[in-house]
Amino acid sequence: MRRPILRLGADALTEPARPVAAITTEIATLIDDMIDTMYAAPGIGLAAPQVGVPLRVFVIDLSLGHDRGELITMVNPEFVDRAGMQLEEEGCLSVPGFTATVARPHRAVVRGLDREGQPQTLEGDGLLARAFQHEIDHLDGRLFTDRLRGIKRDLIVRKIHKLARAGKW
């Protein structure tokens, strides 16, 4: 089932998510719904807080659903290692229509549980490392706009406030 994606300004996006205590049928349903929502958006990643659920769960698929073997589900993720730096344009399903260049690690190693509750450690570089950091930011109550400074951040925030006042956000 597709769930609505919260947009910048929703309080739920600024609160740190809680760890998942156990992989239950409700968590399995949440994961399935997140996958459906991510593919429908379309996007390459989605964190549970973006659909209003304050739990530490994210899904990522760099193939946009074209290769289900690339689907990553991570429960209670934490960084093991991060190295290097990349500066690339980034967007977010919770900030549709806006992008900005954001500094992220070039390489990241993340540890957590898979959808069956089994421990997993995944390593990614480039876009995957960026996606890991982006989704874990959501779990920590941050959006990519929180990593921006100066005029770029101000422009995005002002445009969103203007859209909100006009009822278009």
Q: Is 78 a catalytic residue?
A: no
- Residue 53 tokens, joined: 């659920």
Burial per residue of 47-64, b for 16 or more beta-carbon CB atoms within 10 angstroms, e otherwise? bbbbbebebbbbbbbbee
Three-state SS sequence of 48-83: HHHHCCCECEEEECCCCCCCHHHCEEEEEEEEEEEE
**Active-site entry in 15, 88, 116, 135:** 135
Q: Using only the alpha carbons of the chain, give its radius of gyration.
A: 15
CA distance readout (Å), 71 to 39, 61, 110, 132 = 11, 5, 15, 13
Distance of CA 90 to the CA centre of its chain: 11
Q: What phi, psi does 119 have (nearest 5°)? A: -60, 140
Residues serving a catalytic function are 135
